[in-house]
Amino acid sequence: MLASRWRSLLAACLLACLGPCALAAECIVPAKPGGGMDASCKLLQRVMQEEGEPRSLKLSYLPGGIGAVAWSSVVSQRRGGPDTLVAFSGGSLLGLAQGKYGKAVPDDVRWVAGIGIDHGMIAVRSDAPWRNLKQLLQAIRRDPSAVTIGLSGTVGSQDWLKMALLGQRAGIVPRQFRFVALEGGGDSFAALQAGHVQVISGDASEAAYFMAEGKVRVLAVLSEQRLPGPLQAVPTAREQGYEVVWPIIRGFYMSPHVPEADYQRWVRYFDRMMADPVFLAQRSTSGLQPFAMTGSQLSQYINQTVTQYRKQSQELGLVR
């Protein structure tokens, strides 16, 4: 009896000491709900639940500057502890490359895991007159002011670049486009549904849900080949005569102030998770293509990608 009481007391003490670390984690979405980075955190949340992970994962939304506000918050230690992850995408890396995060550099944070690859897409409402990418671009070329395009960010953002590159292939000068800057993919789809914009430049994983409900028509995916899953019937831009491919990495980083042991703990967790069939199934359902990279290897990849984006932006006259 006495031994049993001691075991119960010891268990209660351990729970009191380790509970906050072991049972709670946070995923910061640096955008409004409904976009690709929101989907990344929700994917992680579902996998943790299905795997029986003892930690719960709460989502916190910290929009602003296409990720700049969240970045600044964790770098300055206003947010982010040993169990706080921040979602990022290729748009985050492009913002770094173009100086939209101030003087920030990739090594200012700890890159934990890249969990999948998304791709760009161009979508319209399901009742729009355009049935394919060629029809849309021809309509814009005839009267650029008649078609309003919604996108995340402003001039130079990845959604802007997707349309700019397509426009170049169609003989349209990018400055002729009529753009509306929005905060994240969720806002873009909301604006499309409300009729505030006629077209959106966004990401394939974001479009899958709305397409399944019959709310949007995806005219093209910006991938090497057609994507499996919900968008498998959608032709690529290449198939339609426009040589534009735009892959988008999705993943997570942490505050630079997180202790090395906690950072490595999360790296090991993602290494295990991304080999689990539960994760592989959820990633596929979420519309992401295979990609799995963590720790120092991911950090090197991020640095190379930011350098590449900076060079592309310089060639387009977006940065000096």
Domain ranges of the chain: 25-118+248-315, 119-247
Any idea which of 16-20, 21-25, 256-260 has the lowest mean pLDDT? 16-20
**279 pLDDT above the threshold of 70:** yes
Model-level pTM? 0.81
Q: Same fold for the domain at 25-118+248-315 and the one at 119-247?
A: yes
Nearest to 207 by CA among 186, 228, 226: 186
Residue 111 DSSP symbol:
E
Q: How far is CA 183 from the centre of its chain?
A: 13
For the record, the structure tokens of 67 come out as 């990720």
**In the chain, at which residue ranges do the beta strands (DSSP E only) sit?**
24-29, 56-61, 84-89, 110-125, 148-152, 178-182, 199-203, 216-222, 247-254, 293-294
**250 pLDDT above the threshold of 50:** yes
Q: Is residue 153 left, alpha or beta, with left meaning phi > 0 and alpha meaning psi from -120 to 50? A: left
Q: Is residue 287 left, alpha or beta, with left meaning phi > 0 and alpha meaning psi from -120 to 50? A: left
Highest CATH level, class, for 25-118+248-315: alpha beta
- pLDDT at residue 23 in the model: 66
Q: State the CATH architecture for 119-247.
A: 3-Layer(aba) Sandwich (3.40)
Q: What is the mean pLDDT of residues 98-111?
A: 94
Task: Kindly list the distances between the CA atom of residue 189 and the CA atoms of 122, 212, 314, in Å, as whole numbers in the listed order.
Answer: 11, 14, 30
300-317: pLDDT as tens digits: 999 999 999 998 888 778
